[in-house]
Amino acid sequence: MNVVIQLERVTRTYALGATTVQALRGVSLQIRSGEFVAILGASGSGKSTLMNLIGCLDRPTAGHYFLDGVDVAKLDHDQLADIRNEKIGFVFQSFNLLTRTSALQNVELPALYSSSRISASLRRNRAREALELVGLAGRAHHHPNQLSGGEQQRVAIARAIANQPSVLLADEPTGNLDSRTSAEIMTVFQSLNQRGITIVMVTHELDIARFAKRNVFMRDGLVRKDELVAAPLDSRAELARWNQAEQTEPQLVLTP
Ligand SMILES: Nc1ncnc2c1ncn2[C@@H]1O[C@H](COP(=O)(O)OP(=O)(O)O)[C@@H](O)[C@H]1O
Ligand SMILES: [Mg+2]
């Protein structure tokens, strides 16, 4: 499979008053098309900084980043925005949905700002398809406040994939969700990944990382460990197991 993300000795230094913070201190990482990677690490280890770079929201201080073979450091601000719109879908911990518009309109929105101008009907069709892929075809006309947290995050995922990006980036996507709902979000990620979407997800929970196929551990701005998950958890089987456990042990409390 071809390499989608290639980082070579990437550093990122923030100026903070008179001092500087070295958020990334030389990260080399290669991610191929079709991978599902979880990035783990303590708070402050550089995970979000890395995701911002991968997502073309930011550029390295030094080193190289190639996205689909394009050297991102050489792009100007507008080109960076274009490549981001075309190739990257983002999901965050907070769902960032517009509250006064329907799920469908929320999903359609990024395509409105895309430089590749597509017709209104194609835009709508893609949005419907994306909602279907996350299992929310029946909720297209609900507003965010009529949806559960898990459903809102699924709308955000549909919005991220509606433009058919090469890579889906998720920074702590289950950070605001309980364990069961987190597993539901992982069923969505695993099914999208099975359809060929490359996924890079930040989490600080090992339980969530085990749904991915590969785990990258960060510490102090460096990759400390990078390993394939021997047997990734099957989210559907996990959910079924929990449902069963709840039936036999009604007192069981699931804590996040
Ligand atoms: N905009 C910024 N300005 C200054 N320092 C920052 C900025 N963003 C992050 N940092 C610092 O960089 C380090 C890595 O942060 P971050 O990438 O957010 O870590 P993580 O997502 O793993 O918690 C931290 O020490 C943080 O305080
Ligand atoms: Mg972070």
Q: Where are the domains of the chain?
A: 3-248
For residue 54, report the distance from its CA to the centre of ligand 2, in Å.
14
Backbone angles phi, psi at 144, to 5 degrees: -50, -40
Q: What is the pLDDT of residues 28-61, one digit of tens each?
A: 999 999 999 999 999 999 999 999 999 999 999 9
Closest C-alpha to 5, from 41, 46, 36: 36
The per-residue pLDDT for 120 is 87
CATH number 3.40.50.300 given to 3-248 = yes
Which residue has a Cα nearest atom 13 of ligand 1? 23
Atom of ligand 1 nearest to the CA of 43: 23
Q: What is the mean pLDDT of the chain?
A: 93
How large is the average pLDDT for residues 142-146? 97
Say whether pLDDT at 251 is over 60. no
Which residue has a Cα nearest atom 1 of ligand 1? 14
For residue 132, report the distance from its CA to the centre of ligand 2, in Å.
29
Per-residue 3-state assignment (H helix, E strand, C coil) for 55-99: CCCCCCCEEEEEECCEEHHHCCHHHHHHHHHHHEEEECCCCCCCC
Structure tokens at 144: 């965010």
Which residue has a Cα nearest atom 17 of ligand 1? 46
Report yes or no: 214 and 228 within 8 Å, Cβ to Cβ. Answer: yes
Atom of ligand 1 nearest to the CA of 52: 17
Q: What is the pTM of this model?
A: 0.93
Mutate which of 27, 48, 92 for ligand 1? The one with the most ligand atoms within 8 Å of its CB, which is: 48
Listed range (8-12, 63-67, 236-240) with the worst mean pLDDT: 236-240
Q: What is the pLDDT of residues 178-193, one digit of tens each?
A: 999 999 999 999 999 9
Q: How far apart are the first and last CA of the chain?
A: 36
The per-residue pLDDT for 74 is 87
For residue 253, report the distance from its CA to the centre of ligand 2, in Å.
28
For residues 218 and 216, give the distance between their C-alpha atoms in angstroms, rounded to a whole number. Answer: 7
Which residue has a Cα nearest atom 2 of ligand 1? 14
Amino acid at 178: D
C-alpha count within 13 angstroms, C-beta hemisphere, residue 80: 16
pLDDT classification of 250: cutoffs 50, 70, 90: low
pLDDT classification of 118: cutoffs 50, 70, 90: confident
How large is the average pLDDT for residues 197-220? 97
Pocket around ligand 1: residues whose beta carbon is below 6 Å from it?
14, 16, 21, 23, 41, 43-49
Question: What residues have CB less than 8 Å from 60, skipping those under 6 apart?
Answer: 7, 10, 11, 12, 24, 53, 72, 73
The per-residue pLDDT for 225 is 98
How large is the average pLDDT for residues 111-136? 88
Listed range (37-51, 80-94, 143-157) with the worst mean pLDDT: 80-94
Ligand nearest to the CA of 53: 1
Question: What residues have CB less than 8 Å from 194, skipping those under 6 apart?
Answer: none
Say whether pLDDT at 137 is over 90. yes
